[in-house]
Structure 1
């Protein structure tokens, strides 16, 4: 601190108080430093003092030797002077002096032994021979005690050997060091039985404990050791090493409890026991010279030791009684329960750091090898019965459930992450569909372009040498098969990613389970693969739950999209939403075919083998119930998606259909009219004259009917109608046909009463066209399946036909009916290919006749024509149609819808309606008047009652 700043900021009194405080701190720190140095370097200070004392003692010895030499020299000179006249002292004086010398030399040798004890104790501690160190310590204490008693009787002892008071201070601290080392050894995992027994014996001798007390201390030390293995300071070791160390510690502890504390007859099984009492008995009965603790042969000073030292034996205050079997079992059971609780918590936390099942399998295999090779496992069941009165399996009783739970949680996590990734990928693709310029989703917005666009990968490279029965949809099948199944690149990518994640999870889980070619050997520690079926069942149920979660997510999206289709009138937005709905439907269809790992997760090898064994030969194999449920969920989601598409498509096409049908606007009626066929007929008058005339007969459906059917087929082809199931198409046809039926019923009902709201007039010409339309609809949508709904449909359609026939003159109806039937047959044949996706395939064989018989000899190079082309029902028919006996109308105008909006109503009607005959004979028939529409007065017959 700068003094100038002090004088600037503080007053004189404040500066003096700061000075006083600073001096106080300096003195306190000096005192702390002295205390710290004194505590830390006490041994060095004591050693320095001892060295000084030894130096002084050596100088005293040297001076004494010099005095002895002088005395000997004087004695020699004195003897030479005295001669024979010199008389020795009396014998009692010599004996007294001799005893005094023996006593002096005995004390000196004991002092020398005390001086040597620290080195011996340190050597024993370095070798971790704590029992020997304890015996040295006890001998030192015995010598110190005896010398102290001797010093009370002889005041010269302390003056002769002043080092005595300081030497015990140098030895006394070894007691705590020995005890600390013993307790540290009790916590060591790899300490052998003898070391544990000697450490416990040392504790008994140093603390005057009983075997029962050290037994409880041993269990407490082992409990602490187990807990310390899971401490954060042990995180430097690998998890596998930590778990193996815990297993070894428990095994060693159980084995050492038996070998150290158990007292019983074990000669039959040759298991070691009662080590503690054996060592205690040996230490407390054998003398120091018998145990070799003192070297009495080579050391001269040792020969002067008194018998109280050479024959010293440590003693116990009370007799060492063995631990009772009941106490042993009760405490061992309590200890093992505590260990199980600690291990469950600790190992559970360690296993949470394991991220793969393969690593868990490696740890399990390491534990299995450890238990199989450990010598402590010999006689394990016998040892457990003796000390715990029950069996104990380290794996099954402690670790197995922890490993299985972690395996299940990892499998569950991987499956859930796979499902979440798939959900995010589906959401991403759905968002990208809003960008019509993105080439990735082009196939999903226009499947027809994708199907008919040829690429180099359409044919698989191995298709030439792999039979069709051995080909798999998931094993590089080629683009052509994907196009045939309407699996777009986006769907393939989603399924591939999902399959890869499931396969990765399954491969990882398989490392923990037993394969079919792997057999369990006998006489092993435990069955490594006992949880195979349990894990497979968990995989199966988890896969089912994850697929259900994915389906629920898709169903939620479908509900939102269905609501959007109903509430948002924008056509572009609805088109994008419709593509999204169809993508979900195709994805649900592809999950069973393009994700083989899903089936492998649910149908494991063991399940498939069981099914093969149960299923008799020649019968259909029994399918797994979970797999059946998964397929049902996917099928239901697919049906739900296509149902939304069916509802939307039917609403769109029926809206246009209703606009063309239920209208009373003349312009709309004329716009939807089609060309009628002019048929030449002959009739005979009452006079017998034959008069030729022309009638106009409907030859094709109205434009709104053709537009409805064509739009349906076009939309079906655009979304891949070849891959859409027949049931979905049938639902579409049923929904559309039912709505058409209702509209026809409505128009017939509204035409009966002009005062009714929504009245639509039905003159004969329009009724004829509607009759043709209804019969055409009934021919392409026959719905002849035996069901209640179809029967109602048939009845309502016939009711509509009857209602329309009521609007037509009966006589004219009889004349027009054969021609209408002929035109219906021709129209059905012409539209068989164009409308093939929505027509009944079984009816196509009715449109062709039988083969024409010929009297000519059959030529060998002419391909015979088949009657019914069942394989290519949507292709043009090659069968020669039989000539109808009815007159065939001749088309005089192309069948196309007029689009010129610049024409007037009269020109438009004249263009689409039949031209009038040039005959103006007054005797022309009624049919001629009905069929001829040469003037606007005839055209006006279409619009009677119209606005």
Structure 2
């Protein structure tokens, strides 16, 4: 194997050698690496030791050289003194010439030392200026720069001097110092563009600009305001600022508060620095004082010791300022121009920044922090400049944007809730399936409350049986729960702002009004969207109307958007009734639109089962045999007035129940209506359904009354008359329904004209009794259609509210109390009390029982009494004798 480890080829190595050989090579390479490392450590250590030794030697040489130079200077001075003493007797010049030569020599020597010291200052100034720039002492750096320019100018004016021609370093040193003009100005501009700027730093920067550019105070003011506007814009645009470490992206709240701090801080700086007797004017006055120190005092102590070698024009140099003048009109104009620029930025950038705020908690934090930090009062500045407007940026710019953003959040949250609710309703409509009636009335374990607290709970969602009776199934309840949760979030977020003590009562009242207006607008749009749905079947219609009604009944926070909470009423005051009025108006609108959907449902039921198709149009003998029920026969016993012992018996047949076709038609309607709407119908919907049904039936019976068969047959007319009396009684058509009642009366009078008046006089009381008994018997079976019987002053027309009962349950479905009766119980024979129908039924049952158990004498007496009553009524009405009845 080759021992040259540097030329090893790894691929060839693994192809030509075995694993043990490769392992040996690996160990050799590790050994060589360790040896090289040790050599490197040794070499570095030796070199470092040599460097330390060389440094010590250089330091010793520097000390020795300094000592040697001092000794040489001392020897030189001694030699010059000895030389003058030895040559004193050999001088040929006069004392005057000697003094002139000495002055000339001293002048040259002074000029030489002065030039050297100035060059020394020029070489020391760059480092000193950089030090002041790093320490952000810009006026000191500017003063030193002006001082260096003053020195360089003096040296350049003396450029023709032989000494200056031999020292080109002065000219080169000025080339080094010249760029400090731009460097200092750039640093000053960057500092003035900071978010955080103190009054002392601002005055230092403005004083530096005044000295550096020799400009007037108006130009410095404009530059200052432009830089503060740039700082405001950079804060809004999230640009990297030189005072912000790193590229960390700040939160929106921090940027908004920082921008407000910039604007308020700018006004505070103007108030402290640039008004009469401001900090800037005091600083400039101090610099103009005769006792102000010269610029040489800013040099190091070693340079200050050489100040006596400098000419007075340099040693006593101080920066000169023109007395600054800033008229109030000029300050006002510059401020107005700057405010317009800030308004333009706020209209675009600040508004876009507020658009990023997504919740009320952030807005509340912004308002709280702004109130804590925004404590500077601009009243002094406004009064001094006689401004017609306020400089309170928080009230001028931020409060309107905050209120606008709050409204946008409320509107956006409401729009999202409304859109999600609409999409969910569309999904439920698309998934609508035929209902299962048995599932609604089947008892479930969660129907009864598990505790007293649950029973006393006012939440509608906990009333499972009540919701099932209204058709609110689990998907609809979940839809309402999600919708109500979104509205609860809106109300909760609004509570955060209303509970804040810093907001004005007018703003809080405006927010409450905006919430009500937004809720009204969004709910109206939701109703319009649901109304515009193309619903093809009854199940889809029912799903849509139940969902819309459930949103009102199962979403308590929806009502809170209109009718404020008790904690809000301290702000609304007397406007609470207005909110209740808006809520009632929206409920009426929703009721009207849902009523239209109900009408479409019942119209489809009536169109599917029309009485024109289900009932016979012409009454023939076959129809009579098939359709008319068995009439009851009543035997009337009456005694002859002339022959008291003779008894006259007469037999009458009276209808006992409506036609079979009518009963079958009503039962088919009930079955169809139960299949379409297995839940209970609202009273108003039931009333509308009955009105349409009765109008169709009246049209049908009107056609039958006009037919020739009815006119020719008294029995047919009597049965139709009985049907109309039954419909009028079972559907509770009273005088309050004037039009319908008059139609029934008119049609009954028309049918009564076809009946013999003497027979009708005998039949009238029995027909009324049979109608009452038939109504009492069929009222429970027709409970879906028939309204509740009137109790006291309550009538059927007074229970036409579209909304369901407040707490429907099984008890109220069969209750005989003050609640509406959906399915009243069958009449029970009672010894006392009860309704008219029950009393009639009780009388008939008593008569039949007495008829079966009494003796013939009592039976005859009863028949005689009935006959006498009938005859007496007929004879008294027509003025005929009783012989006519024999």
Is TM > 0.5 for Structure 1 vs Structure 2?
yes
Aligned equivalents of 1:420 and 1:406: distance in 2? 20
CA distance in 1, matches of 2:570, 2:78: 115
Summarize the Cα distance change of 1:579–1:710 in structure 2 as closer, same or farther, 3 Å threshold: same
Q: Which residue is 2:531 aligned to?
A: 555
- Secondary structure (helix, strand or coil) at the match of 2:266 reads helix
Q: Deviations over 1:230-271 (max 9, x none)?
A: 23525922222212222221122112223222125xxxxxxx
1:833 paired with 2:780, answer yes
Q: Where do 5+ consecutive residues of structure 1 fail to align? A: 1-57, 265-272, 437-444, 521-525, 565-576, 753-759, 846-867, 891-947
1:659–1:112 distance in 2 versus 1, CA, 3 Å = same
- Of the three residues 331, 337, 356, the one matched with 2:340 is 337
**Residues 275 and 69 (structure 1 numbering): CA distance in 2 closer, same or farther, change over 3 Å?**
closer
Secondary structure of the residue that 1:512 maps to in structure 2?
helix
Following the alignment from structure 2 to structure 1, what is the Cα–Cα distance between the partners of residues 674 and 156? Answer: 116
* 1:762–1:286 CA distance, 2 compared to 1 (3 A): farther
Counting helix residues as a fraction of each chain, which structure ranks higher?
A: 2
User: Where does residue 262 of structure 2 map in the other structure?
Assistant: 249
Write out per-residue CA displacement over residues 613-646 of structure 1, whole angstroms, 9 at most, x where no aligned residue: 769xxxx988722111111112212322222223
1:332-371 residue CA offsets vs partner (Å, 9 max, x unmatched):
1222232233223221010111121221222222211111
RMSD: 4.0
Aligned to 1:776: 726
Query: How far apart, in 2, do the equivalents of 1:334 and 1:762 lie?
Result: 103
Q: In the superposition, relative to structure 1, how do residues 709 and 283 fare at CA in structure 2: closer, same or farther (>3 Å)?
A: same
Aligned match of 1:145 in 148, 153, 167?
153
> 254-263 or 664-673: which moved more?
664-673
Alignment match, 2:450: 461
What is the TM-score with the length of structure 2 in the denominator?
A: 0.75
In structure 1, distance between residues paired with 2:428 and 2:403: 37
Instruction: Look up the match of 1:511.
Output: 496
- Classify the secondary structure of the residue corresponding to 1:661: coil
Matches within 5 A, 1:408-807: 408-433=407-432, 435-436=433-434, 445-446=435-436, 448-462=437-451, 464-465=452-453, 468=456, 471-474=457-460, 476-514=461-499, 520=501, 527=503, 531-557=507-533, 560-561=534-535, 577-605=537-565, 609=569, 624-653=580-609, 655-656=610-611, 658-663=613-618, 671-677=626-632, 697-715=654-672, 723-751=680-708, 763-803=713-753, 806=754
Whether 1:262 and 2:275 are equivalent positions in the alignment is yes
Shift in Å, 1:113: 0.6
Which residue of structure 2 lines up, in the alignment, with residue 219 of structure 1?
Answer: 225
Conservation of the 8 A alpha-carbon contact between 1:329 and 1:386: no
The 3-state SS of whatever aligns with 1:415 is: helix
Equivalent of 2:284 in 279, 284, 300: 279
| DSSP 3-state at the match of 2:374 | helix
**Deviation, structure 1 residue 191:** 1.9
Whether the aligned pair in 2 keeps the contact of 1:745 and 1:800 (CA below 8 Å) is: no
Q: Give me the whole-angstrom Cα distance separating, in 2, the residues matched to 1:665 and 1:386.
A: 108
C-alpha spacing 1:465/1:252, structure 2 compared with 1 (3 Å) = closer
Shift of 1:426: 0.8
Q: Deviations over 1:886-910 (max 9, x none)?
A: 98599xxxxxxxxxxxxxxxxxxxx
Partner of 1:54: none
Q: Summarize the Cα distance change of 1:68–1:553 in structure 2 as closer, same or farther, 3 Å threshold.
A: same
Residue 119 of structure 2 is aligned to residue 107 of structure 1: no
In 1, distance between residues paired with 2:142 and 2:71?
41
In the alignment, is the contact (CA less than 8 A) between 1:277 and 1:322 conserved in 2?
Answer: no
Q: Cα offset for 1:225? A: 2.1
Contact preservation (8 Å) 1:491, 1:590: yes
| Conserved? CA contact 1:211–1:321, under 8 Å | yes
Distance 2:121 2:258 in 1: 43
Once the two structures are TM-superposed, the CA of residue 549 in structure 1 deviates from its matched residue by 0.9
Q: 1:825 to 1:132 in 2, by over 3 A?
A: closer
Shift of 1:193: 1.5
Q: What is the aligned partner in structure 1 of residue 181 from structure 2? A: 175
> In 2, distance between residues paired with 1:263 and 1:844?
89
What's the TM-score, normalizing by structure 1?
Answer: 0.70
Q: Choose which of 100, 105, 108 in structure 2 pairs with 1:97.
A: 105
Give the secondary structure class of the aligned counterpart of 1:884. Answer: helix
Matches within 5 A, 1:204-215: 204-215=210-221
Query: Using a 3 Å threshold, how does the CA distance of structure 1 residues 668 and 491 change in structure 2: closer, same or farther?
Result: farther
Distance 2:542 2:567 in 1: 34
Which residue does the alignment assign to 2:135?
A: 127
Whole-Å Cα distance in 2 between the matches of residues 844 and 528 of structure 1? Answer: 54
Cα deviation, residue 148, structure 1: 1.3
The alpha-carbon distance between structure 1 residues 784 and 821, as it changes in their structure 2 partners (threshold 3 A), is closer
Distance 1:118 1:776, change over 3 A: same
Counterpart residue number, 1:238: 251
Which whole-Å deviations, capped at 9, do the CAs of 1:859-891 have from their partners, x for residues lacking one?
Answer: xxxxxxxxx98777811222344333998599x
Say if 1:844 and 1:720 are closer, same or farther in 2 by CA, change over 3 A: farther
Distance in 1 (alpha carbons) for counterparts of 2:106 and 2:708: 158
Query: 2:428–2:543: 8 Å Cα contact kept in structure 1?
Result: no
SS at match of 2:325: coil
Task: Using the TM superposition, give the Cα deviation of residue 826 of structure 1 relative to its aligned residue in structure 2, in angstroms.
Answer: 3.0
In 1: Cα distance, 2:787 partner to 2:300 partner: 116
Is 2:199–2:269's contact at 8 Å kept on the other side of the alignment? yes
CA distance in 2, matches of 1:311, 1:816: 141
Question: Is 1:818–1:886's contact at 8 Å kept on the other side of the alignment?
Answer: no
Distance 2:768 2:782 in 1: 19
The Cα shift of 1:210 comes to 1.1
Structure 2 residue corresponding to 1:359, chosen from 357, 362, 373: 362
Q: Deviations over 1:762-802 (max 9, x none)?
A: 64554443333233223313411324313422322323432
Post-superposition offset of 1:307? 1.6
Distance in 1, Cα, partners of 2:468 & 2:546: 12
> Does structure 2 conserve the Cα–Cα contact (< 8 Å) formed by 1:658 and 1:743?
no
| Contact 2:724/2:748 (8 A) holds in 1 | no
Kept in 1, the 8 Å contact 2:545–2:594? The answer is yes
**Distance between the aligned counterparts of 2:325 and 2:291, measured in 1?**
20
1:490 CA drift (Å) = 3.3
Q: Is this contact kept in 1: 2:132–2:140, CA < 8 A?
A: yes
* 1:870/1:204 CA distance change after superposition, 3 Å: closer
Number of the residue aligned with 1:380? 378
